[in-house]
């Protein structure tokens, strides 16, 4: 997908989470992609490590959300209001859908996602769209 943009990456990430199926998103990762979260000390390096992590997280959430609908995650398309203003991103919510709990931004190069970061949303600001890709 040579025409992959940050916006398309955010869309496909949101769709993967809203479906709890990461495969379409994982196919876009560069072999040496990196994932970092401000809530975790170490970066994940490489598509296999990221794939194992996402598959595990989504499987756990699938099981938990069946028992407790309040555990459901919804991911919305959006744009940042701070930093690189207007940058496409995905906003994650869990349980309390009116409150954004994480912002996810992407770096794309050569038609692949080379990096994505899960950030505290207050650092980037949230311009919400109400669009939840399915």
Q: What's the pLDDT score for residue 83?
A: 83
Give me the pLDDT at residue 1, please: 54
Identify the helix (H) or strand (E) that includes residue 44: strand 44-45
Looking at residue 70, the DSSP 8-state letter turns out to be G
Q: Please tell me the distance from the alpha carbon of residue 83 to that of residue 74, in angstroms, as a whole number.
A: 24
Average pLDDT, the chain: 94
| pLDDT attached to residue 128 | 94
Say if residues 15 and 95 touch (Cβ distance below 8 Å).
no
Please state the domain extents for the chain. 6-128
Domain 6-128 has CATH 3.10.450.50: yes
pLDDT attached to residue 84: 87
Query: How much is the pTM?
Result: 0.93
Confidence of residue 123 (pLDDT cuts 50, 70, 90): confident
Segment 5-56, tens digit of pLDDT: 999 999 999 999 999 999 999 999 999 999 999 988 899 999 999 999 999 9
């Amino acid at each position: 997908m040579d025409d992959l943009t940050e916006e398309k990456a955010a869309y496909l990430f949101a769709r993967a989470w809203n479906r709890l199926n990461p495969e379409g998103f994982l196919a876009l990762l560069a072999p040496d992609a990196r994932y970092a979260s401000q809530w975790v000390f170490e970066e994940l390096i490489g598509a296999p490590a990221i794939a194992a992590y996402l598959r595990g997280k989504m499987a756990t959430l699938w099981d938990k959300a069946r028992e407790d609908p309040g555990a459901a995650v919804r991911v919305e398309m959006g744009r940042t209001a701070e930093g690189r203003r207007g940058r496409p991103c995905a906003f994650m919510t869990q349980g309390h859908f009116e409150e954004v709990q994480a912002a996810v931004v992407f770096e794309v190069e050569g038609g692949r996602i080379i990096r994505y970061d899960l950030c505290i949303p207050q650092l980037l600001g949230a311009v919400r769209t109400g669009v939840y890709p399915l």
